Chains A and B, each alone.
Chain A
């Protein structure tokens, strides 16, 4: 304010300079953002231009790709169901309770997210085939009777209880290089994403409602089942969908732990690799496009779920 009480205005109006500054801002913002969007669009366009509808249809008629599609649907669904089954209680535990070691559990759960995929596959392979010497020392496994000791002696490895042998001999379920290995490799990664989703879901649910339920006669388990779980249904669907999508894109651990045997452990992600390795680019691109379509469908479903949550 001047001495006379009148407002002193700047010599150059902000009204004139404002739109120009805003235009520069939006130009920079739009330019940088469009780089990434353009890259994705170009990638998809490149895939589309590489193949023709006829070649696409022909590739998808191949029996090995149809088998891979069926196995993919089966393993992804199993991995997603298992992930939700484990992630729901674990997410609730991490969200609601502080216990000794809870921070460590929180970190451990995230390890599959940051671990290089091949390392995860290798770790699974070792877990299933490395003898557990401790069990022998503790007398928990009769390794000689099971023939494990002999194998150990022949290979020079320390003898002991082996998970893969036990599963095959006791339960009749061989895992490594079979389709259960595909599910396990997918589950190991997708469950970590599901746990994150479920933890955030339960963080957003008012824990006081469960407290009130307990004063009304619920046990902690009943409060979880009757009050928290019904509120978490969208989170459960989201966790399942994310797990399914993550399982669909899994490749490294599957290749190492389950292999890529046609009609046996081949899923769509390994189909791309197998088709490329035999020079069948058309088929590789067709499978890739099929996976793109599946991924888009999953994304649309997630967006729909997200819209429902926000309203």
Chain B
């Protein structure tokens, strides 16, 4: 389970204050809100890349507010995917495992699992420069999942894909959530994404007093 309790976070001159919500373990939550309202800032605060000024971030009931990003067991997939241009697809999938000093056999097994789940087995020896949008997205997803995170943060993961790829990507994300049991927080602008994927819909909106808050939390419709 992920819980934010009265979290305030700053992005330049922009301040998000008093953000509170909960997402149950294993749920697929969708976070919506207009462009520039602070969705990415909120994700960065949850995964520890941005300092939380006030409040608490709890993962599985544990307060991880002061923890470094690598200790939180969170997989993060940014909007631009941020693949590592000097690495092959296999090296992307091995990256987190190598940091944990996993054995070669464990690493190979995990790479095999992810390659099968994401259907990227044929890409393993390739670099990432020539990948299509859909392929790159699956590699980024595999990299984020490699260390078996408890929470997966997806920042507009399928917004840049064409309609057909988008549809199969949605199916893949939902399957992934069901099969691995990972809690997902998925940022999107697309109502269709929210309706087809979300168990829970969170909405960032500016209130009458000018504060940005999570004002809607409930089942996606």
The size of the chain A interface, using a CB distance under 8 A, is 17
Q: Does any Cβ of B come within 8 Å of A214's Cβ?
A: yes
Chain B interface residues toward A at CB < 8 A: 44, 47-49, 68-70, 72, 74-78, 80, 82-86, 95-96, 99-100, 143-144, 146-147
* B99 contacts A212, C-beta separation under 8 Å: no
Residues of A within 8 A of B96 (CB): 216-217
Residues of B within 8 A of A71 (CB): none
Q: How far is the CB of B143 from chain A (nearest CB, A)?
A: 7
| Also in contact, A213 and B68, with CB within 8 A (given A206-B80, A227-B84) | no
* A215 contacts B47, C-beta separation under 8 Å: yes
Q: Does any Cβ of B come within 8 Å of A6's Cβ?
A: no
Residues of A within 8 A of B48 (CB): 214-215
* B70 contacts A215, C-beta separation under 8 Å: yes
Q: Does any Cβ of B come within 8 Å of A34's Cβ?
A: no
* B143 contacts A212, C-beta separation under 8 Å: yes
Compute the total of residue contacts between A and B using a CB distance below 8 Å: 63
Interface readout for A209-252 with B: 1 if CB under 8 Å, 0 if not? 10111111111001000110011000000000000000000000
Q: Does any Cβ of B come within 8 Å of A208's Cβ?
A: yes
| Also in contact, A212 and B70, with CB within 8 A (given A218-B99, A231-B85) | no
* A217 contacts B83, C-beta separation under 8 Å: no
Residues of B within 8 A of A222 (CB): 99
| Also in contact, A216 and B80, with CB within 8 A (given A230-B86, A231-B86) | no
Q: Which 5 A-B pairs have the closest CB atoms?
A: A217-B70, A217-B99, A208-B82, A230-B86, A216-B96
How far is A17 from B76 in the complex, measured between Cα atoms in Å? 60
* A215 contacts B99, C-beta separation under 8 Å: no
* A219 contacts B82, C-beta separation under 8 Å: no
Residues of A within 8 A of B70 (CB): 214-219
Q: Which chain A residue lies CB-closest to B71?
A: A217
* A215 contacts B75, C-beta separation under 8 Å: yes
How far is A222 from B68 in the complex, measured between Cα atoms in Å? 13
Residues of A within 8 A of B147 (CB): 216-217
Q: How far is the CB of B71 from chain A (nearest CB, A)?
A: 8
Residues of B within 8 A of A230 (CB): 84, 86
Residues of B within 8 A of A231 (CB): 84-86
How far is A216 from B77 in the complex, measured between Cα atoms in Å? 11
Residues of A within 8 A of B47 (CB): 215
* B82 contacts A215, C-beta separation under 8 Å: no
Residues of A within 8 A of B83 (CB): 209
Q: Which chain B residue lies CB-closest to A216?
A: B96
* A209 contacts B49, C-beta separation under 8 Å: no
14 further A-B contacts with Cβ under 8 Å, apart from A212-B76, A216-B96, are: A208-B78, A209-B82, A211-B49, A211-B69, A211-B78, A211-B82, A212-B77, A212-B82, A215-B69, A215-B74, A215-B75, A216-B143, A216-B146, A217-B100
Q: Which chain B residue lies CB-closest to A233?
A: B86
